[in-house]
Amino acid sequence: MPTTFTNQATLSYNNQSIPSNVVTGVLTEVLSVSKTAIPAAYQNGDTITYAVQLVNSGTAALTGLTLTDNLGAYTPAAGTAAVVPMTYQSDTLRYYRNGILQATPTVAATSPLTVTGLSIPAGGNTTLMYAVKTNQFTPYGAEESVTNTATVTGGGLAAPLTAEATVNADPAPDLSVIKSMCPTTVTEAGVLTYTFTLQNRGATATTATDNVSLTDTFTPALTITSVTLNGTALTAGTDYTYDGATFRTLTPLLIPAATYTRNATTGEVTITPGMATLVVTGTV
């Protein structure tokens, strides 16, 4: 980090002292480090790529450097040991010098991520890129975030250099659907039921403006006898449409937000998805 310094001279004569003006300068370090996260927001199961750039403004190469990334480690409110909310993804490390891909350096540890044997050309730069993934200790919710700190040591540095990158939890709906069929073996003209379990692992419930709909083409064709959403009967032509093959909901599906529970001692986060259940029954 640049340091600002000031200097002032004093002129003495005939038992008098006259101060000069104050001059101000900036002392910059030979090595600087910055860190960027791509993307800058996450949801459950997401992968984030970090780029750490080291810039050498000096006239001599720097060698023997080590990069350590704490991967957002924090200590739970009632815990005694730190937990790590991001997991390094094996074999994702890429190492560039002046923009040219180099042989992958040694990954001495993965939690915290520790990379050794780094060098930076005189007047040049080195960039490391690596991917991490959310895990059971990652916080979710509208106000949550993870701050990762990268620390550079060695190479004759007078003191460690650090850079941070913060990623925020994305509160948007995070939807998935699970389809089941009962029975799995059905006779001709028999009754068949399709159940669609709609899950939302995001911190925000869906609304009508999200226009969530479900479409399915039933093979073999189904003669629909009933459609329900969370146990409430839906009306053909108003709530859904079916042309003898393709089924589609018309009324936007509303799926509640997930709830998140963090164990105050272990830091582990439990996600309870918001759910809606659509059931289509008919004969084949």
pLDDT digits (tens, 9 = 90+) for 13-65: 878 888 889 888 765 558 999 999 999 999 999 999 999 999 999 999 999 99
Do 238 and 112 share a domain, yes or no?
A: no
Predicted confidence (pLDDT) per residue in 85-104, tens digit: 999 999 999 999 999 999 99
Rounded alpha-carbon distances, angstroms, from residue 97 to 27, 75, 223: 25, 35, 65
Do 39 and 163 share a domain, yes or no?
A: yes
Report residue 169's pLDDT band, with 50, 70 and 90 as the boundaries.
very high
Domain end point (choices 148, 169, 190): 169
Calculate mean pLDDT across residues 67-88: 96
Range of the domain at 200: 175-283
Number of domains in the chain: 2
Give bridge partners of residue 120 from the DSSP assignment: 62
Asked whether residue 246 is assigned to any structural domain, the reply reads yes
Give the type of residue at 137: F
Do 145 and 119 share a domain, yes or no?
A: yes
Residues 6+ apart with CB under 8 A from 83: 73, 74, 75, 76, 137, 266, 267, 268
Asked whether residue 25 is assigned to any structural domain, the reply reads no
Read off the CATH number of the domain in which 103 is found.
2.60.40.740
Structure token pair of residue 245: 């093959």
